[in-house]
Amino acid sequence: MTAAAQQVLSEARDYGMYDGVCVPVHGLQGYQGMLIFGGPEVRLNEREISVLHLVGIYASNKVRELVGANTNRPRHRLTPRELECLKWSDAGKTSWEISQILNISQHTADWYLASAARKLHAANRTHAVAEGFRLGLIR
């Protein structure tokens, strides 16, 4: 270990952190830092560590958002129809149900949802709905 790493561990012990878990936090730019959970004794299973990893990612993203570090990320505007389809998707409606509600074809509903997902940099419809919530587009 480097001298700096040894100093960190030494200072952690001064605060009663003899055991712990270090969770790396990665973002779009790669490695961004780490989240450390420690105490006199830490016993976590793999699932609990995975949950902490997700919490770490969410927390670091929220901190960057609060301090304005994400202001260079463009806000993609959804059309009213894309937003409407996304909200119906959030309500659990299928593309066919959305098409019936909005009086459009199922293909068109799929197209609006795919377009919204693309604009939100989402991998799929569920991810697009989650991004809609995160960005405050869906309440």
| pLDDT tens, position by position, 67-89 | 765 554 545 689 999 999 999 99
Q: What is the pLDDT along the chain (139 residues), one digit of tens a residue?
A: 788 878 888 888 898 888 888 877 665 566 667 778 888 988 888 888 888 877 777 777 777 777 765 554 545 689 999 999 999 999 999 999 999 999 999 999 999 999 999 999 888 898 899 888 888 888 8
Instruction: Determine, yes or no, domain membership for 90.
Output: yes
Distance CA 89, CA 139 (A): 13
Q: Are residues 51 and 7 in the same domain?
A: yes
Domain for residue 111, yes or no? Answer: yes
* Dist CA 1 CA 64 (whole Å): 30
Residues 9, 54: one domain?
yes
Domain range for 23: 3-66
Q: Is this model's pTM higher than 0.75 or not?
A: no
Specify the number of domains making up the chain: 2
Whether residue 12 is contained in a domain is answered as yes
